[in-house]
Amino acid sequence: MRAAFAGHGWEVPRLLEALSRADDFYFSSACQVHLDRWSRGRVALIGDAGYCAAPTSGMGTSQALIGARTLARHLASAGGDHPTAFGAYETELRPYVAENQANGRQAAATFGGGTALER
């Protein structure tokens, strides 16, 4: 952190100095999850596990809730045919997730000086 932000102005020197004294310092990378498919067998992924869009998208909670609702709706209407339900769930939600992930990458670039999000 010190090396990455060395030489920056404003409040940065004060924050770097405070890092040494903090007992609750938290640091993590911002990542997205990109999977070729969201289900296998009888297991389907919902939310961050399947298609995290990164905090910079501001849409992770919505994706998790809408994902759960969409999957539940397709499971109910497929009458127990879970492969059909899983396929319909993914087909319906993919475009929404792709848009959120694109926005998440775009916002990360403005925060992080143009570097790509980890994938």
Ligand X SMILES: Cc1cc2nc3c(=O)[nH]c(=O)nc-3n(C[C@H](O)[C@H](O)[C@H](O)COP(=O)(O)OP(=O)(O)OC[C@H]3O[C@@H](n4cnc5c(N)ncnc54)[C@H](O)[C@@H]3O)c2cc1C
Residues in touch with ligand X (CB under 6 A): 47-49, 55, 58-62, 64
CA separation for the pair 46, 65 (Å, rounded): 9
CA separation for the pair 45, 2 (Å, rounded): 38
By beta-carbon proximity to ligand X, the closer residue of 16 and 64 is: 64
- Minimum distance of ligand X from residue 118's CB (angstroms): 13
- Minimum distance of ligand X from residue 83's CB (angstroms): 22
By beta-carbon proximity to ligand X, the closer residue of 75 and 101 is: 101
- 43-44 vs 39-40, strand pairing mode: antiparallel
CA separation for the pair 97, 104 (Å, rounded): 10
By beta-carbon proximity to ligand X, the closer residue of 64 and 78 is: 64
